[in-house]
Amino acid sequence: MIEIKRLCVDLGEFVLNDVSLSIDEGEYFIILGPTGAGKTVLLESIAGLNPIRSGELWLRGHNVTNVEPEKRHISIVYQDHVLFPHMTVKENLLFGLKMQHLSVEEQNENLNWVVDLMGIDRLLHRNPETLSGGEKQKVALGRAIITRPELLLVDEPLSALDPETRENVQQELRHLHRTLGLTILHVTHDFEEAISLGTRIAVIGDGRLMQEGTPEEIFRHPNSEFVARFAMTRNIFQGTAKRKADGSTVFRVNDTEFVIAVELEGSRHASIRPEDILISSEPLRSSARNCFPATITNVLDRGSTLYITADIPPELSCLVTRQSFQEMELQEGKKVYLTFKASSIHLFD
């Protein structure tokens, strides 16, 4: 559906180098990369908002490399919403339709459709500055889809939101993707967000495309140090959550059962932050519900801290300071115990 061929962009401070990507109709495609990796530049270049140095962009079989942004039918939603501050919510939503010179009836028809879809009828006559972050994001999404774009670009749409609203907007995006069959290109630095929403992921770093594949491929088989570090520093597992006879809930992965603190069931992803895991040479007696024997399989030196990978199985990454590393004489092959609280395990779709 969209084909990016050897795209190079040079904006001085941000550079994209030889990026090629192909996104299919109806995909939820994620571009994952750390802050400053050139993700926003890539999105804006696809929308035609940045001058490109070389490369081509094809949309539904047409070369649109030199087509004006207003003729591409590609909408963009920014992290901080970027609503027109001098217009009401309604005027914001109608802007794109007015630009297309639709009749008043058509404008109202589309407006009602978006208002129903996003559930924002109460907001229509408000000024953008009076809206909450989640409301702004909904309006921004509504404004972007009201013109029925062929491709929706979303730039870190969840980063500026509090956890609850985040969950909400995430559902909204998933919903838009499924019900409208909309092709979405979503940029984020958040690994969990990427796995949770994406049908495919491209990792970009330093203005380059590092790896492209399904979420599973990216976090199971990283092809480079960069991707590995990006993926490895976030222990992410796929497994099933279920309630046990004794009333506790566990998350089962590779025959290992982690005790978790939320009452959920079914197939999920789980993550544990490396800094939440304790390493000890003896089993710890503590209030933490999870304590497992493991074997160290890898040590990654990051200077004052180190990432220790230990296999239960599954393999878990743990963050330790250089001091602990030396005092405990940690090394590959050593048998240790990993301890973490049930509440340290974060479950997501």
| Strand partners of residue 237 | 270
Q: Does 57 participate in binding another protein (rule CB under 8 A)?
A: no
Residue type (1 letter), 313: P
Residues 6+ apart with CB under 8 A from 306: 299, 300, 319, 320, 321, 322, 325, 330
Is residue 292 within 8 A of residue 256, CB to CB? The reply is yes
- Residue in 202, 142, 185, 172 with CA at minimum distance from that of residue 27: 185
**Closest Cα to residue 300, out of 237, 238, 222, 204?**
222
**Does 133 help bind another protein (rule: CB under 8 A)?**
no
Residue 83 CA to residue 136 CA, distance in Å, equals 7
Residue from the set 14, 58, 95, 307 that interacts with another protein by CB under 8 A: 95
The size of the interface with another protein (CB under 8 A), counted in residues, is: 26
Q: Are 63 and 5 in contact (CB under 8 A)?
A: no
Asked if 47 is part of the footprint of another protein (rule: CB under 8 A), the reply reads yes
Q: How far is the CB of 99 from another protein (least distance, A)?
A: 3
State which of residues 69, 133, 213, 314 lies at the interface with another protein (CB under 8 A).
69
**SS3 state at 208:** strand
125 lies in the binding site for another protein (CB under 8 A): no
- Say whether residue 276 binds another protein (CB under 8 A): no
- When asked if residue 74 is in the footprint of another protein (CB under 8 A), the reply is yes
Q: Is 70 in the site for another protein (CB under 8 A)?
A: yes
Under rule CB under 8 A, residue 124 binds another protein: no
Q: Does 85 bind another protein (CB under 8 A)?
A: yes
DSSP string, 237-279: EEEEEEE-TTS-EEEEETTEEEEESS---EEEEEEE-GGG-EE
Contact 155, 187 (CB under 8 A): yes
Q: Residue from 60, 99, 112, 178 that binds another protein (CB under 8 A)?
A: 99
In terms of CB distance, is 82 or 261 closer to another protein? 82
Structure tokens that stand for 136 in this block = 């702004």
In this complex, which beta carbon is closest to another protein, that of residue 149 or of residue 239? 149
Selected binder of another protein within 13, 35, 51, 86 (CB under 8 A): 86
232 vs 319: CA distance, rounded Å: 11
Binding of another protein by 13 (CB under 8 A): no
What residues does 89 pair with on adjacent strands? none
The least CB distance from residue 86 to another protein, in Å, is 5
Measured from the CB atom, is 130 or 298 closer to another protein? 130
Q: Does 78 bind another protein (CB under 8 A)?
A: yes
Q: Hunting for tokens 């974060």 — which residue is that?
A: 346
- For residue 200, the minimal CB distance to another protein (Å) is 23
72 binds another protein (CB under 8 A): yes
Q: How many helices (H) and strands (E) does the chain have?
A: 9, 20
| Comparison of 133 and 314: residue with beta carbon closer to another protein | 133
CA 173 to chain centroid: 11
**In angstroms, what is the minimal distance from the CB of 138 to another protein?**
15
Task: Based on the shown chain and the rule CB under 8 A, indicate whether residue 15 belongs to the binding site for another protein.
Answer: no
The smaller minimum CB distance to another protein, of residues 78 and 191, is found at 78
Q: Minimum distance between the CB of residue 141 and another protein, rounded to whole angstroms? A: 12
Residue 47 Cβ vs another protein, minimum distance, rounded to whole Å: 5
- Euclidean distance between CA atoms 173 and 38, whole angstroms: 23
User: Which residues contribute to the site for another protein (CB under 8 A)?
Assistant: 44, 47-49, 68-70, 72, 74-76, 78, 82, 84-86, 95-96, 99-100, 127, 129, 143-144, 147, 149
